[in-house]
Amino acid sequence: MRDSGTAGDGTPSNAPSYVHLRAGGVSLVLDRTGDGLPRVLHWGADLGPLSDDALTALAVAARPQVVSSSLDVRVPLSSVPEQSAGWLGTPGLTGHRDGAHFSTAFAVADVATRADGLTVDAVDPQAGLALRLEVEMSASGLVRQRATVTDTFGEGAAPYTVDGLLLALPLPARATELLDLAGRHLRERSPQRHDFTLGTHLRENRRGRTGLDATLVHVAGEAGFGFRHGEVWGVHTAFSGNHRSLAERTAAGVRMLGGGETLLPGEVRLGPGASYTTPWVYGSYGRGLDEMAGRFHRHLRARPHHPRTARPVTLNTWEAVYFRHDVDKLCALADAAAEVGAERFVLDDGWFLGRRDDRAGLGDWYVDPEVWPKGLHPLVDHVRGLGLEFGLWVEPEMVNPDSDLARAHPDWVLAAGGRTPPEARHQQVLDLGHPDAYAYILQRLDALIAEYRLTYLKWDHNRDLVDAGHGPDARAGVHAQTLAVYRLLDALRTRHPGLEIESCSSGGGRVDLGVLERTDRVWTSDCIDALERQGIQRWTGLLLPPELLGAHVGGPRAHTTGRRHTLAFRAGTALFGHFGIEWDLTKASDEERTALARWVALHKELRDLLHSGDVVRGDHPDPALWVHGVVAADRSRAVYALVQTETSVQSAGERVTLPGLDPDAVYRLAPLPPGDRPEGPTRDPLPWWRDGVELPGRVLASAGVHAPTLYPERLVLLEARRVG
C-alpha cells in the first residue's frame, strides 16, 4: 500500500490524504481529502507505484466540471453515498428517528490505515449517529467493504430505525454492459446480459434466503466482454437473507455498483449505544470473467478454515431410495458405493420421526423407531466398516404442521398478523429468533452428531420465508432469523471440530459468502441432469471454486428432466467439482459400475489439481461447443473438457484454443481416459487424436487444435503436460 502525505485540507491529522491499495494486479485509490467520507478515485487495473504528487494529480484529473442546472459544487460518490453532499442517486444510509434525521452528513473523526486497508470513523452529531467504514483488499486483489452505524444519542431519544445501508464502488465510462444471473428451482444461475443504460438496475431478494433466482455476482464490463477478454467489475453481497445489489448510471456521468442487506420495515431499530453492521460487500475486477472469478477463488482458498483435506467422493442416498428407508437396501447401496470407490455415505431425508413423505415430521429430530428399531447404528456401523464416512441430512430451520413440535409450540412458527403463512412443501419456518426454539434445535442436532459421531451434515432449507413475523407483535423476522442460523452453525462447529456442513437450499438457493464462512460446500442444484449442470456449474463458478461445488453423477435417466445421458457425459460433468454419486448403484449393471469406478479413480487422481488450480473457460465462437478446464498453479499441467451442448450450425468441428498455459513452455496434449472416446457423426479419426501433439502454450492458446466432431450432449477430456 502507498499512502500520500498529510495535507492541510481538513483531513484528520493522523490520516493520509490519499490511500493507494495494491495487490494481485489491482489498484484501489481512495481520496481522503476534506472531512467527508472517502471517495474511490480508481478501482481497476494496477496503476503501479504512485508518488504523493502523482496521487494528487490523479485526483485533479478525475474532477468533473460544474455544469448548468446543477449544484454549484462537485458532487462526490462516497463509499456510503449521502444526499447531504449532493448525491441524488440511491442513498447509502436510509433511516430516521420517527421521521426526523432522514439525511446524514458524516464528518470523519479518525482514520486508521494498515497494509491491506483502512478503517474510517465518522460522526454526525446532529443525527446522533456514528459510522465506521472498513475497506480491505486481499492478496488476490479482491476488495471488500462493510459499515457499522451506531446510535450515539442517550436515553430519552427516539430510536433510530435503519431502513438500509448500501456500500458503493464507482465504475469507469467504458463499463457499458451488464451481466447478472437469474434462475429458478432446477435451473439456477441463468445468465442475462444487457446494456448499462441510464437509471438503476436493481436485483433485490426478499425470499429470506439467498434465493434460487439470486445473482451471485452483479457484473459491469466493456462491451462484448467474455471469460478471457474485456475489463469487468463485479460485486457480491455476502449475506444469506434478504439482500440487494444494483448497477446505477446517472445523467451526471456516474456509474456505480452497490450492495447491502435488504431490511424489512422495523427490523433494525437502534437504541442508545446499539449498532447495526452490514454484510461484507465484495468487489472483484478482472480482464475477463475468469480473472474476476479467480480473485474470489484465491480469496476463499486463502482462508484458514477453507477445506484442506482431499474432498471425499460422496454417495448421497436421495435419488436411490427417496423416503423408502430399509436398512438392508441401504447397506447394499453402501457396499456398491465402496466398490466403486466412494469415501462418504450420506443418508438423506426420511430417517426421523413420522417421515414417510414430505408432509410430516420436520422438527421431530429423533430417529424413527418404526423404521429404525435399533436407531441408525446398524447402518452407521456397516458404512464405517466399509471405510466410509457417515453423514446425515437435516432441515433444522423448518417444521411441518403435522409434527409433534408444531402441535406443542405453534408460537415457534414465523408468522405475521395472527395468520399462518402459505405452506410450501407442506412446511413452515421455525423461528430461530425465539430463544427456546433455537435451544431445542441446537440440543437435538448436538445430540445426533454426538451419538452417531457424524462428520457431515447436509443442511437443507426448502422454502422461502413468506410473511415471516417474529414474536407476539409479529415484527419482521428475516434479519434475526439469518443471524440466528449463523450462530447455530457456528455453535455446532465449535462443539464438534472437524464437522463438515453442506449448504443445500432446494439445491442452489443458499449460495453466498456469508453461509460459506460456516459451511464446506454447496449443493449446486437439485438438478443433476448433466446438460443443465454444465450451465449451472459454469456460472456458479463466477463466485466459487470447484471444491465447493457439489457435483454428482446421477442415474442414466435424470429424474428432474427425463433426459438420458451417457455415463461419460454425466461423470465428465461431475468431474469438475466436489465429485459424488446420486444413483441407485444396486440397480446398475456390472459394466456400469466398472465404468463408474474408472471415473471415480480419475477424479481422485486429478482432485489435487482440480481443487487448487485456476479455472479457465474458452471464449469459443460456436455457442454449441463449450471449452473449460483447470490449470495447475505452476502451469505444469491442465485438464480441459470439450462439451458439445447441442448441434452446431456447421457439419464438422473446428479449432479450439486452450487458455491458461505458460506461453513459453511446450506441452504434450493428449486425450485423457476414460474421457477419450469421441462419439460423433464422423467417417475417420481425428489425425492428432491417437498419438497426441506437442506444442507451445502460446500456440495452444492462439492457434489451437482441431476439436473432434461430437454428437450433442457429449464431451471429451484433454490433458496438457509440460514437456521437460
Which residues does the annotation mark as catalytic? 460, 526
CA distance 398 to 374: 26
Report residue 395 as a C-alpha cell. 432441515
Report residue 280 as a C-alpha cell. 461484507
CB 615 within 8 A of CB 632: no
CA distance 531 to 534: 5
Count helices and strands (H / E) in the chain. 12, 41
CA distance 5 to 206: 45
Q: Is 625 helix (H, G, I), strand (E, B) or coil?
A: strand
Give me the sheet containing 625-631, strands edge to edge: 614-617, 625-631, 637-644, 714-722, 666-671, 693-696
Q: How far is CA 367 from CA 71, 362, 455, 456, in A?
A: 68, 12, 18, 17
Q: What is the largest CA-CA distance in the chain?
A: 86
CA distance 487 to 449: 17
Report residue 639 as a C-alpha cell. 485438464
Contacts of 216 (CB under 8 A, 6+ apart): 181, 189, 236, 511, 512, 539, 540, 542, 543
CA distance 622 to 610: 25
Q: For residue 256, list its beta bridge partners.
A: 170, 248
Give Cα 232 to chain centroid, integer Å.
Answer: 18
CB 703 within 8 A of CB 655: yes
CB 533 within 8 A of CB 551: yes
Q: How far is CA 643 from CA 8, 9, 346, 569, 570, in A?
A: 61, 59, 30, 9, 11
CB 665 within 8 A of CB 696: yes
CB 80 within 8 A of CB 166: yes
Q: For residue 21, list its beta bridge partners.
A: 28
Tell me, letter by letter, the H, E, C secondary structure of 194-236: EECCCEEEEEEECCCCCCCCCCCCEEEECCCCCCCCCEEEEEE
Closest CA to 337 of 384, 290, 292: 384
CA distance 724 to 200: 54
The DSSP symbol for 331 reads H
Closest CA to 477 of 488, 466, 486: 466
Q: Determine the residue type at 609.
A: L
